[in-house]
Structure formats: structure tokens, C-alpha cells
């Protein structure tokens, strides 16, 4: 029998990918134009982690899932109203900026402290989930730093599957170079897993689950701790949209090696 797990998912909200994002300079540093008006969603990488956590909790009876999220309280409420119907979890909210112009170390410090303070959390049964990458804080190190601050040594990145075993250990399949996977065996919690895309699609909406979740989420949002990310010593010298350029050329009977070389030269001189 697999022991119950305590799964904490770290995930923030990001602007809807269908929106056009325009970076601007403000007195407080770089930001997004009309940031407060942009519709938001849960970071896609974090969403994969949450859905995988919910599925794993089903396999291990008695398990609990928390979502620790740092973002503007008003936007968190907007996103949680739809996310609550996707999976059962308990929300732990932090009221602060969610854009990508923040320091990963400072963000990780707040996330780690909040995770450690969760009532009833058993560190010996802790699995820390999150996105392998991020659509906002894409430094690729935030989750790793959170794990290190919590003293979690066993860390796996680019995870696509986790398979629990009867003895409490679990098998982890993570991505490596060359389109291959590395399969590892972990003796058991605590461990950190940064998820890639996983193997599960977005769950169907469950209104009853949503109503049950929202009763707890509204209370969590009201208790959201205000967080100020000062980013002391951190600055962005320049922020701009990627340049758009299109030069179409039709060439016949060109060898793959020649095409690759031409692309390489174009990238190198761009």
C-alpha cells in the first residue's frame, strides 16, 4: 500500500497566450502594457504539474494537493474560478506581481517560506511539483531554488511520468537530449519534480468539484499575504518585442546539409 503523499504545486498566472504583449518601462522597472487588463491563465507548465498531482493523489488514498501561487489577488480569483473545476486542490495564495520582470531568487524565497508554513504539511511525505519551464518566470531556476531552500536533494527536471510503487518508492521518466528519456528510481519523498508536458490532457470541467473547491479558495484569497518583490540589485537594461522579418526564397534541389548551413549562418549573423 502506497503511503499518502503531500503534494505541493508551485505555479503562477500568466497572460493569455492569445494576447499581444508589449513591454514598457515604468518608474518601478519594466512591465507589460495594460498588465491589469490582460486576461490571465495558469502557467501552462504549472497546469501540467497540477493535473499530474491530482492524478497521483487519486492513486495514493489520503493524499493532499496544495497549489502555492504568487500573483495579483484579483487575477488569481479570476483564474481559480475556472481552474477549480479541473482538479481538487487547496489554494495557498500570495498577493504580488506575476510578470516575468522579477528576480528568481527572491520569488523562490517567498514560495519556499510559504510552502514550509503550510499547516499540516509533512516534509517526510512531500513531493514538490512545478513547471520545468515557465511562461513568465522563465529563468528555469525558480523551482530548483525553492527545493534547495526546503532541503530537497532529489530533484528531477523535464518529467513526463511518475509511477509509484508499493514500497513507497517511485519511478521517474524525465527528458534528456536527443529525444530520449531517462528512467530513474527514487527511494521516496521528499523529492522535487519539474514537469514538462506530462501525459494528461486538460481535465473536463466538474461543476460540483468547482463549487467545493471555491468555498475554500475564497477564504484563501482573502488571507493572501501581500508580497513585495523589490528585485534589489536586479535590473533589465532593455526590453523589446522580437524583431519581425520575412524573406521568402524558393529553391529547388537543395541538400539538407546546405539548408542547415544557411539557417546556421542566418542565425549567427542575426
pLDDT digits (tens, 9 = 90+) for 84-96: 888 888 888 888 8
Q: How far is Cα of residue 77 from the mean position of the Cα atoms in its chain?
A: 18
Residue 169: name the closest of 143, 189, 140, 142 by CA. 189
pLDDT for the residue numbered 235? 63
Terminal-to-terminal C-alpha distance of the chain: 57
6-226 domain in CATH 3.40.50.300? Answer: no
pTM of the model: 0.77
Q: What value does the mean pLDDT take over residues 96-123?
A: 83
What is the rounded CA–CA span in Å between residue 267 and residue 270? 5
Residue 47: name the closest of 21, 93, 86 by CA. 86
Residue 60: is its pLDDT beyond 60?
yes
Answer yes or no: are the C-beta atoms of 221 and 92 closer than 8 Å. no
Least confident span in 9-23, 69-83, 121-135, 234-248:
234-248
In this prediction, what percent of the chain has a pLDDT beyond 70?
Answer: 84
Least confident span in 160-174, 219-233, 235-249:
235-249
pLDDT for the residue numbered 1? 44
Provide the grid cell at 85.
473545476
pLDDT digits (tens, 9 = 90+) for 18-37: 666 767 667 766 667 776 76
Query: Which range has highest mean pLDDT (98-102, 245-249, 256-260, 264-268)?
Result: 256-260
Per-residue buried b or exposed e for 180-209, using 16+ beta carbons within 10 Å of the residue's own CB: eeeeeebebbbbbbbbbbbeeeeeeeeeeb
Q: What value does the mean pLDDT take over residues 133-139?
A: 64
pLDDT tier at 122, thresholds 50, 70, 90: confident
Amino acid at each position: 500500500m502506497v503511503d499518502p503523499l503531500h503534494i505541493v504545486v508551485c505555479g503562477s498566472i500568466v497572460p493569455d497566450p492569445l494576447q499581444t504583449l508589449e513591454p514598457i518601462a515604468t518608474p518601478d522597472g519594466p512591465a507589460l502594457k495594460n498588465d491589469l487588463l490582460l486576461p490571465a491563465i495558469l502557467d501552462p507548465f504549472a497546469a501540467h504539474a497540477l493535473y499530474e498531482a491530482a492524478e497521483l493523489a487519486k492513486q495514493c488514498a489520503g493524499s493532499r494537493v496544495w497549489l502555492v501561487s504568487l500573483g495579483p489577488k484579483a487575477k488569481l480569483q479570476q483564474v481559480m474560478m475556472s481552474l477549480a473545476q479541473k482538479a481538487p486542490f487547496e489554494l495557498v495564495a500570495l498577493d504580488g506581481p506575476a510578470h516575468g520582470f522579477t528576480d528568481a531568487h527572491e520569488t523562490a524565497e517567498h514560495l519556499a517560506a510559504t510552502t514550509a508554513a503550510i499547516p499540516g504539511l509533512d516534509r517526510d511525505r512531500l513531493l514538490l511539483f512545478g513547471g520545468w519551464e515557465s511562461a513568465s518566470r522563465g529563468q528555469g531556476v525558480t523551482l530548483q531554488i525553492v527545493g534547495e531552500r526546503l532541503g530537497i536533494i532529489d530533484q528531477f527536471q523535464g518529467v513526463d511520468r511518475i509511477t509509484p510503487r508499493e514500497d513507497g518508492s517511485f519511478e521517474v521518466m524525465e527528458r534528456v537530449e536527443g529525444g530520449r528519456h531517462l528512467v530513474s528510481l527514487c527511494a521516496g519523498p521528499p523529492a522535487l519534480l519539474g514537469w514538462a508536458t506530462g501525459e494528461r490532457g486538460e481535465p473536463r470541467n466538474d461543476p460540483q468539484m468547482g463549487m467545493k473547491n471555491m468555498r475554500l479558495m475564497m477564504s484563501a484569497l482573502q488571507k493572501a499575504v501581500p508580497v513585495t518583490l523589490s528585485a534589489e540589485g536586479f535590473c533589465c537594461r532593455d526590453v523589446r518585442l522580437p524583431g519581425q522579418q520575412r524573406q521568402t526564397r524558393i529553391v529547388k534541389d537543395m541538400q539538407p546539409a546546405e539548408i542547415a548551413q544557411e539557417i546556421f549562418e542566418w542565425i549567427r549573423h542575426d
